[in-house]
Amino acid sequence: MLITNNMKFSTNSIKSCAARIGTLTEFERIPNTIFETPLALIHTKGGCVPHLTKDVFKMVTSDPQILSVSLSSTYLMLESMKDNNVNFANFVGMKEYINFVTLHDQAYATPSGFREANSIPIWTRSGKFTLTPNMYMNVIETFKPDMYVALCDGDTNINSSKKRVSNSIQNSTKFFDNCFTKHSSSEALKSSEILGAIEGGYDKDARTISINYLKTKPIIGYVIDGLHNNGPDVKNIPSEQIREIVQHTNNLLPPEKLRVSMGCWNPLTVLDLVELGTDIFDTSYPYIITENLRALTFLCDHDDCNNVGHTISFTEESRYADDFSPICSHCECLTCKNHTKAYLYHLCNVKEMLGSVLLMIHNIHQYLEFFKIIRESIKCGVLDDYKKKINLKFKQGNVAEADEPTNIKETKSSSS
């Protein structure tokens, strides 16, 4: 058995289900990089941040980041990577960033069903591809990611039957065995970390079975999977729907291991999941807000900005046509420092792509600031007060996001 991974996660929290600060260190490919959790992975398509060039993204943030890379948006690159004999980070020119590979794109609803024996489907712009554990691990060996999730069957949600939930656990257990055996002996993956997926839908007993199987494995952490089928509707899932099952899950997981929850959870749900001991999320939420031509304002509490709710729309609110103030006068992003709401309103209504670029710059900046505030609030012991403040922002003035139209098409695509 070859396992020589050096990556480490550490936390001073001894509680299984409580907000905590942790650190991810000792990445072999970029050894001096340190990440503090809770954090958000940067959602990508084809390995790039949607709407932003690499140079623009570097202007958005100079901090180290972890990229969330879905196979559904990158699988078609596989043969070219093989032909050029390069790993994923080098192939897409993002070698300065740690990458975390998952099966599905969190911003798009994953079609349910379509399962074949001993395989999992992924959906690309060219249609469906099915991956067996052996095929999946061959792909992973070509990508050589810093972190990745073992092949799993997470096709469950709150409406799933007991039989579907049971099958998801059986499949995922079998897939993990096959993946971990290959991972453990792979020379190509000696610098990569594998995570296991906790399945079980909304059935506590099923979750317990999945946890008991995985918690003895020598892995760095777990992905709490099977709560949804991805896509924009995840932002409308109330915390009350998932809180009990996530609390049950985290209470049974070893406190020293990493916990990941993917999907475009809204900020209120993120705060609840952080409070339950979840460490890692992703930025598919600000991407979806951008696709709806909206700007995040839930961090803005300045009277001179007059931002009452958690987002503002540049297609529905004609009052911004003559508003020559920035989205937020206190925001330090490139968009707010250089452009006005009136200009953004114009760009969005003439369907100029620069509108999405400027909104993405602002929304990513705001979301990364959100996680900085979360970490500081945990350190200072004021997370509960911060939650109340953000809750109030969501309750004020805005049309519920559940009633908003979405520009995210329910098909897989690797275009940004």
Tokens of 216: 């003895």
Burial environment of residue 71 by CB neighbours within 10 A (0 to 12, 13 to 18, 19 or more): buried
Predicted local distance difference test score (pLDDT) of residue 408:
64
Give the global pTM: 0.93
pLDDT tier at 412, thresholds 50, 70, 90: very low
pLDDT tens-digit map of 211-265: 999 999 999 999 999 999 999 999 999 999 999 999 999 999 999 999 999 999 9
* Mean of all residue pLDDT scores within the chain: 92
Q: Would you place residue 397 in the very low, low, confident or very high pLDDT band (cuts 50, 70, 90)? A: low
pLDDT of residue 415: 35
- Distance between CA atoms of residues 176 and 181, nearest Å: 8
pLDDT at 409: 54
Phi, psi of 369 (to 5 degrees): -65, -40
Binding site, annotated residues for Zn(2+): 331, 333, 336, 362
User: pLDDT at residue 402 above 70?
Assistant: no
Q: What does the DSSP assignment read for 107-133?
A: TSPPPP----TT-EEEEETTEEEEE-H
Over residues 72-94, mean pLDDT: 96
Residue 265, Cβ density class (10 Å: 0-12 exposed, 13-18 middle, ≥19 buried): buried
- What pLDDT was estimated at residue 2? 46
- Positive or negative torsion for Cα 401, 69, 98, 262: positive
pLDDT band at 113 (very low <50, low <70, confident <90, very high): confident
3-state secondary structure of 282: strand
Of 185, 292, 182, whose CA–CA distance to 236 is shortest?
292
Q: Provide the annotated binding site.
A: 331, 333, 336, 362
**For residue 216, which of 176, 246, 175, 169 has the smallest C-alpha distance?**
176
**Distance, CA of 153 to CA of 73 (rounded, Å):** 18
Tokens in use for 292?
Answer: 């709806």
Question: Tens digits of per-residue pLDDT, 158-210?
Answer: 999 999 999 999 999 999 999 999 999 999 999 999 999 999 999 999 999 99
CB 120 within 8 A of CB 130: yes
> Per the structure block, which two tokens stand in for 409?
């098409």
Q: Taking CA 288 as the corner, what is the angle to CA 283 and CA 291, rounded to the nearest 5 degrees?
A: 130
Amino acid letter at 13? S
pLDDT digit string, tens, across residues 34-60: 999 999 999 999 999 999 999 999 999
Alpha-carbon span 415 to 204, nearest angstrom: 38
Report the C-alpha dihedral over residues 140, 141, 142, 143, rounded to 10 degrees: 50
Per-residue pLDDT at 410: 44
Handedness of CA 257, 263, 266, 269 (dihedral sign): negative
Distance of CA 180 to the CA centre of its chain: 23
Cα distances (angstroms) measured from residue 34 to each of 106, 149, 240: 25, 21, 33
SS3 assignment for 266-277: CHHHHHHHHHCC
